[in-house]
Amino acid sequence: MEEIKEEDRKRLLSDVNSENYFRVANGTIVKGLMGLDSSLEGMGEETFRYHVNDYRNDFSTWIRGTINDEKLANDLLLSKDKCKTQIIILRRIVEILSS
């Protein structure tokens, strides 16, 4: 497991600036990784498919460009399933917290 510096841990798990919030197609506003996990919990399959399909992965793009977590962004590209996506995010949160 990679060692994550304290300042990186805080940055990865903090809410982003309001201009960088992720706006989900169903109207939900996601402010950070924890919020993305919560949002996926109640997200319908149609909304998930809008953001993750054969042509794009909006969650990966947002995490790469806004959260600046290349590892998580790359891992998310491997999943087109809502449950697997949530598991990948939860594992990364645990990894960040326990490093």
**Could you give the CA distance from residue 12 to residue 66 in angstroms, rounded to a whole number?**
10
**Could you give the CA distance from residue 9 to residue 78 in angstroms, rounded to a whole number?**
23
Q: What pLDDT digit, counting tens, does each position of 68-77 carry?
A: 999 999 999 9
Q: What pLDDT digit, counting tens, does each position of 34-88 carry?
A: 999 999 999 999 999 999 999 999 999 999 999 999 999 999 999 999 999 999 9
Tell me the whole-structure pTM to 2 decimals: 0.93
Q: According to the model, what pLDDT value does residue 1 have?
A: 60
Contact 23, 31 (CB under 8 A): no
Ordered by start, the domain boundaries in the chain are 6-98
**Residue 86's closest CA among 36, 49, 47?**
36
